[in-house]
Structure 1
Amino acid sequence: MRISPRLMVIAALFVTCLIAANIIAVKLISVGSNIVLPAAIIIFPLSYIIGDILTEVYGFAWARRVIWLGFLCNFIFVFFAWIGGLLPGASFWQGQSAYETILGYTPRLLLASFSGYLLGSFANAAVLSRMKIWTKGRYLWTRTMGSTIVGEGLDSAAFITVAFIGTPAFALMLIVYHWAAKTLIEAVATPVTYAVVNYLKRVEKTDSFDRGVNFNPFKLADAKP
């Protein structure tokens, strides 16, 4: 089975953005005087943009595979980061607390991150795929924005609810801030999305329409090279 090298690059970029976002998310940044967001806000939306490109060009079946690949790679990273934290440090090493601050994930935050990612990513891909049929392949911006509004909304709601509900940090406006910031980045990146999609469709000589595709996230066997 021959897989397009461009598809491999897109998958690699998707996974890289996902893992990088989870690492830098521990840093909080201020936007204005009242809004606090994780530093991952600068890169996590890129995974949705890449996901849009993937679904638009190669179809939902390939997007589904790459989403699960991202989940697996992220899980492997988190597992070995945890193992690394358990290993005894050298007698002269003073960085254990810093290591645990950056790479030490609580079970609740892991559940929040994984559930938000899967829910949002699959919703994003499914909405874009269905909208492409409805719009007959026209008006790409409506698909990228529509799918992002749904996907990022579900992602933000799931993550913040699971991670913070029942704690003083939980607030509905926090969900709104996350969702709005991610959606704004998608909107700003729309010209880039158009350029990349048009380039890939031209060089790959493909433009997938997911008629009759099974949107079950657990069905992995119907992606064609």
Structure 2
Amino acid sequence: MFNFGWGILFVLVHFMLFLLCYRKFGKHGLYAWIGIATVLANIQVTKTIEMFGFVMTLGNTMYGTIYLTTDLLNEKYGEKEARKAVWFGFFTLIMSTVIMQMALIFQPQAEDIAQEHLEIIFGLMPRLVAASLLAYFTSQFLDVRLFALLRKWFPKPNQLWIRNNGSTCVSQLIDTLVFCTVAFAGVYSFDVWWQILLTTYLIKFVISVASTPVIYIARRFQFPEDDRRANEAG
């Protein structure tokens, strides 16, 4: 039960920090969040925990906020800005992987205490990043496109929950299938792999639904750049 209670606090902290990041830094804060979230999610996913008798990985909450971010960008700034954010996340993944793989090659000093631990965390990164990039590309661009389509069919402001949850639930299913297959097939037994697949999607689904009030709150934040964009559109 500890993991469940701590997990609720974990999710709330993510949402609060997301809102704070956007409130303080505006659209630039959303891009910064994408960059940080793509890196942290791929580090956290190396840790497995147990909850209600199921094995699951960390990183799902942080990764789920990426969809929240791109949906908010799509909602307030348009599909073009959301796509730019997806590409920015791709760049941060590539950049962090290249730099950390090069850092591991340096010969550590005799009394160094970090190399072994860095190898455990970042030594797994190439396969995880390959899985993440493939899943990220297919699911994020799908999410951006689905959100734009749903906005045409459900354009009213109070229908944001349909746009947000509809696009995210479909794209996250694709993301989970691709990522878990590439990252964990053959690493864990089929039993454990299936549990990770199932719990990963369920957690992402719950995070998506739970984030609905967050995106409504964030949409109400106003910045000078929003006024300029509205004037240009007018």
Smaller-chain TM-score bracket: 0.7 to 0.9
Instruction: Flag the structure with more relative contact order, 1 or 2, with Cα contacts below 8 A and sequence separation at least 6.
Output: 1
* 1:58–1:206 contact (8 Å) kept in structure 2: no
Asked whether 1:13 is paired with 2:33, we answer yes
Could you tell me how far apart the structure 1 residues matched to 2:107 and 2:195 are? 41
Distance change in 2, residues 1:124/1:106 (3 Å): same
SS in structure 2 of the partner of residue 36 of structure 1:
strand
- 5+ long unaligned stretches in structure 1: 209-223
Write the letter of the residue equivalent to 1:136: P
SS in structure 1 of the partner of residue 111 of structure 2:
coil
Distance change in 2, residues 1:202/1:56 (3 Å): farther
SS in structure 1 of the partner of residue 220 of structure 2:
helix
Other-structure match for 2:167: 147
How far 1:135 moved relative to its partner? 1.0
* TM-score normalised by length of structure 1: 0.82
Could you tell me how far apart the structure 1 residues matched to 2:210 and 2:35 are? 22
* Greater fraction helix: 2
Other-structure match for 2:100: 81
Could you tell me how far apart the structure 1 residues matched to 2:101 and 2:84 are? 26
Could you tell me how far apart the structure 1 residues matched to 2:229 and 2:200 are? 32
Other-structure match for 1:215: none
- Tell me which moved more, 88-97 or 194-203: 194-203
Distance change in 2, residues 1:111/1:10 (3 Å): same
Asked whether 1:114 is paired with 2:136, we answer no
- Tell me which moved more, 126-135 or 191-200: 191-200
Asked whether 1:183 is paired with 2:205, we answer yes
SS in structure 1 of the partner of residue 143 of structure 2:
helix
- 5+ long unaligned stretches in structure 2: 1-24
* 1:57–1:200 contact (8 Å) kept in structure 2: no
Write the letter of the residue equivalent to 2:173: G
Could you tell me how far apart the structure 1 residues matched to 2:187 and 2:47 are? 19
SS in structure 2 of the partner of residue 199 of structure 1:
coil
- Tell me which moved more, 180-189 or 193-202: 193-202
Could you tell me how far apart the structure 2 residues matched to 1:93 and 1:164 are? 31
Write the letter of the residue equivalent to 2:73: L
Percent of aligned positions that are identical = 25
Spell out, residue by residue over 1:35-69, the C-alpha distance to the aligned partner (whole angstroms, 9 max, x if none).
12222123111111111101111111111111111
Within-5 A mapping of 1:54-203: 54-105=73-124, 107-138=126-157, 139-166=159-186, 168-170=188-190, 171-200=193-222
Distance change in 2, residues 1:107/1:31 (3 Å): same
Could you tell me how far apart the structure 2 residues matched to 1:169 and 1:201 are? 50
Asked whether 1:39 is paired with 2:58, we answer yes
Could you tell me how far apart the structure 2 residues matched to 1:78 and 1:108 are? 10
- Tell me which moved more, 197-206 or 50-59: 197-206
